[in-house]
């Protein structure tokens, strides 16, 4: 239970920070090569896109399999917990408009969509987090192919060593 609460807090904090570059943390003494199998466990987040969450789950599975780990439905040495949330906000853009010899300012309100992701990899035997990634960024386009999402997650999870 505490892991879910901790993951939810991390998701909230990283969402507030709007980090342009994901932050990674790995436990000392824990290495990907020490493990063979993993399971995936989504953490339910309000205002979540079911389609996007499924794409993320497939991408996590793909990325870890590229690193030599084997996915199992139950009983994995690692439990990969992930939380994903979307937030729509309005952004204010100020514009300068020259009119004759004067400059006037105007503003434009744009709707922007931000995605926040937290991935927590837990050693099931020791019941301890061995790797954590969190990040948030503006999404320009939601229509990415599964392969594009997979490729991005290969890059994101490449820091799990």
Could you list the pLDDT tens digit for every one of the 161 residues in the chain? 444 444 444 444 444 444 467 899 999 988 999 999 999 999 877 766 777 888 999 999 999 999 999 999 999 999 999 998 888 888 888 888 888 888 888 888 888 888 889 999 999 999 999 999 999 888 876 678 899 999 999 999 999 99
Does the global pTM surpass 0.85?
Answer: no
> Quick check: 91 and 115 in contact, CB under 8 A?
no
Domains of the chain: 2-87+114-159 (3.30.160.670)
Which residue from 161, 141, 149, 144 is spatially nearest to 82, judged by alpha carbons?
Answer: 149
């Amino acid at each position: 239970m505490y892991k879910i609460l901790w993951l939810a807090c991390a998701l909230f904090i990283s969402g507030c920070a709007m980090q342009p570059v994901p932050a990674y943390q790995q436990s000392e003494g824990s290495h990907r090569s020490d493990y063979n199998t993993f399971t995936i466990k989504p953490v339910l987040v309000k205002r979540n896109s079911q389609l996007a969450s499924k794409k993320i789950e497939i991408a996590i599975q793909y990325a870890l399999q590229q690193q030599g780990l084997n996915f199992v439905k139950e009983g994995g040495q690692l439990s990969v917990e992930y939380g994903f949330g979307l937030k729509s906000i309005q952004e204010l853009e100020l514009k300068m408009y020259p009119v004759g010899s004067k400059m006037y300012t105007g503003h434009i309100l744009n709707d922007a969509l931000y995605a926040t992701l937290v991935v927590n990899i837990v050693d099931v035997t020791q019941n301890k987090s061995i790797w954590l990634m969190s990040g948030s960024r503006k999404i320009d386009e939601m229509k990415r192919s599964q392969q594009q999402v997979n490729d991005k997650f290969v890059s994101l999870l490449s820091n799990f060593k």
